[in-house]
A = this chain, B = another copy of it.
Amino acid sequence: MERPGEAEYLETYDPHAYPAVAVSVDIALFTIRDRHLHVLLVKRGEHPYKGEWALPGGFVRDETLEAAAARELTSETGVPCPGPGGIHLEQLGTYGDPGRDPRMRVVSVAYVAFAPDLPDPREGSDAAAAQYFPIDELGLPEDVRGRRSIQQAPGTSTRLAFDHTRILVDALERCRSKLEYTPLAASFVGEEFTISELRNVYEAVWGEQLHAGNFHRKVLSVPGFVESAEKTTERGGTRGGPRAKLYRVGDAHLLHPALLRPGREDEVR
């Protein structure tokens, strides 16, 4: 702040001389319940879009953008956010088309979060209601690079408030591609997990069945993806099978070689 002339300039500067713009954060929190990918939505208790479902979020206060996202996330889930082994939070992108909010110009910085299965959100929640929705029952529009069939159950026409459908589609694609190049699949499971649990994460997020044997070998062959916990599960699977070895996430932050989604060659166009 030793830049000459700047102090004088700042004293005469009027922050309200420009049209009002608000900055908010919205969070797409993904988790896996019952082998299906879910996203947390809140029912809006106030105008605009009162009574409709939306991504959790709110206006940014005197804090970092990421802190704002973490704060909103914690207030909805009750879970402390950026802890090691806890919820993963990363910036997705910013959505600021004029008119996306009828009140005024609102520029929203969207975040994506990955969490292990959490208890149902209820207490301590600002919103009228908060609930996890299965992704494949939301009837999301087919995104460019996915050939997800639209399996929207009749009557489940969940139109989201604002432009949150578009944000959610982008968030979903981010989530899917992050699993290819990073070990973040582990943030969907507990601290210790089996290779099968990890495979369930990939299958739920990608919406595809993976070959169990090849997946097993592949995960163990990527350096730093997982490390053995030197333990096994207490019991075999409920439908039979041997006890599985337990693993912890390793020290890699990039998977090399990556775990690529199957059958995407045709999506080059």
The interface of chain A, by Cβ under 8 A from chain B, is 1, 3, 5-6, 9-10, 13, 15-16, 18-23, 47-50, 52, 59-60, 62-65, 91, 93-94, 96-98, 102-105, 107, 109, 145, 223-224, 251-256, 264-265, 267-269
Residue of B nearest to A97 (CB): B64
Q: How far is the CB of A187 from chain B (nearest CB, A)?
A: 17
Which of A6, A18, A64, A96 has the most chain B CB atoms inside 10 A of its CB?
Answer: A96
Q: How many copies does the complex hold?
A: 2
- 20 pairs from A and B in contact (CB 8 Å cutoff): A3-B52, A6-B49, A9-B48, A10-B47, A10-B102, A15-B20, A16-B16, A16-B20, A21-B23, A23-B23, A23-B107, A65-B94, A93-B93, A94-B94, A96-B109, A224-B268, A253-B269, A254-B267, A254-B268, A254-B269
- What are the residues of chain B within 8 A of A19 when measuring CB–CB? 62
B91 touching A93, Cβ below 8 Å: yes
